[in-house]
Structure 1
Amino acid sequence: MPTYKVIAISGYKPFELGIFQKDHPSAAFIKAAFKKEILPLAETGLEWILISGQLGAELWAAETVFELQEDFPELKLAVITPFLEQEEKWNEKNKEWYESILISADFVDSVTKKKYENPAQFKLKNQFFIHKSDALLLLYDPEKEGSPRFLYEMAQQVDGYPVTLITFYDLQQIVEEEQLKKYEF
């Protein structure tokens, strides 16, 4: 098991997964998949999780970190957005979810200290995450393209930079494991 001090986490946005509520039953399986990957890293000294605060995989990962902090209080969450006020055009429920994550995060900042101007800000965020982390954990399946593709492809270009994918097959395994737990007495 490798030891990392800092990992970046990202993945699909909720609409890319056909999920339109933060508490959708599928979210529990996504969080279980994150926990399965993060827990052994926390046990070997992981200190920081970096997310950019985008809806979906990243906020579910943040909720997973908060749960893990009960047993690993030294584990910290940094939310580093690509630009200021990224939630500006989100609906109220999503803004509330995002704000609840920011309030509990250990560190909040922005890569570019200005509001959205152009897609280059996302590229800068991706570069920042790869440069500042020891590894990437990505809820992404190369068989189903989506927004995580850009971060995934950039990470693939960096020699020796570890990328762990949580694919749809991995999620199916989690669903089956969780269902087995229910039926065991």
Structure 2
Amino acid sequence: MRLWLSGYRSYELGIFNEQDLKVKVIKAALKERLVAKLDQGLEWVITGPNLGVEQWGLEVVLELKKAYPDLKLALLEPYADFSSRWQEAKQVKLAQLRSEVDFFGLVSKKPYQGIRQLQNYQNFCLNHSDQALFVYDELYPGKLKFAYQASKKKANYPCELVTMDELQTFAANYQENYGSW
């Protein structure tokens, strides 16, 4: 199974520091969902370079690969020079992640020219995956809204959501079972 993993950007969640407790909660929830998917035949995780859920997902999958060496990870960028306007530290982090994945590619080899490149990226991810896992809640729309709507329109394409309520419940259960984060 090939899984498209995406979700909110860090700023959409009010996260401006990687040490934020919310990052730990999201990563732990992603790990739990991905381990369950591995039991269902997960072979590839496909994700993007965005700051937030996508990069945290990359980190989680890279960690899981230690225990599940057959798991493969693809990082796709919608266009060339995707991170060129980011702070240098964030560009360095993305370059490091690129170097650790099993496959890296650009959907468009040209720098940003317009929304069509983002639509092509979305369509590419939809057409090269069997299902999606999105950290997304319809009550709190964000940039992922368009990808979520497109995934709902695709026939026989399961799209599993990790909602805000689920993250809240996950955090409470984790704390109850294991103590503090």
Instruction: Give the secondary-structure state (helix, strand or coil) at the position aligned to 2:133.
Output: strand
Change in CA separation of 1:23 and 1:183 when aligned onto 2, cut-off 3 Å: closer
The one of 65, 68, 71 aligned to 1:69: 65
Ranges in structure 2 where 5+ consecutive residues have no aligned partner = none
**TM-superposed deviation, 1:119:** 1.1
**TM-superposed deviation, 1:36:** 1.3
**Paired residue type of 1:125:** Y
Per-residue displacement from partner, 1:130-170 (whole Å, max 9, x unpaired)?
Answer: 10000010010000111010100111111121000010011
Identity %: 31
Change in CA separation of 1:23 and 1:98 when aligned onto 2, cut-off 3 Å: farther
**Paired residue type of 1:116:** Y
Give the Cα–Cα distance (whole angstroms) in 1 for the partners of residues 135 and 143 of structure 2. Answer: 11
Q: Does 1:173 align with 2:169?
A: yes
**TM-superposed deviation, 1:41:** 1.4
Q: Is the 8 A contact 1:22 1:56 kept in 2?
A: no
Q: Which residue of 2 aligns with 1:19?
A: 15
The one of 36, 55, 58 aligned to 2:54: 58
Give the Cα–Cα distance (whole angstroms) in 2 for the partners of residues 68 and 47 of structure 1. Answer: 12
Q: Is the 8 A contact 1:52 1:79 kept in 2?
A: yes
Alpha-carbon RMSD across the aligned residues, in angstroms, is 1.3
**Paired residue type of 1:177:** N
Give the Cα–Cα distance (whole angstroms) in 2 for the partners of residues 97 and 28 of structure 1. Answer: 18
Give the Cα–Cα distance (whole angstroms) in 2 for the partners of residues 177 and 67 of structure 1. Answer: 22
Q: Does 1:102 align with 2:109?
A: no
Give the Cα–Cα distance (whole angstroms) in 2 for the partners of residues 134 and 34 of structure 1. Answer: 18
**TM-superposed deviation, 1:177:** 1.7
Ranges in structure 1 where 5+ consecutive residues have no aligned partner = none
Give the Cα–Cα distance (whole angstroms) in 1 for the partners of residues 28 and 57 of structure 2. Answer: 9
**TM-superposed deviation, 1:182:** 2.9
TM-score by length of 1: 0.93
Q: Does 1:141 align with 2:140?
A: no
TM-score by length of 2: 0.95
Give the Cα–Cα distance (whole angstroms) in 2 for the partners of residues 78 and 104 of structure 1. Answer: 10
Per-residue displacement from partner, 1:55-103 (whole Å, max 9, x unpaired)?
Answer: 1000001111011111100111100110011010011222122122111
Q: Which residue of 1 aligns with 2:44?
A: 48
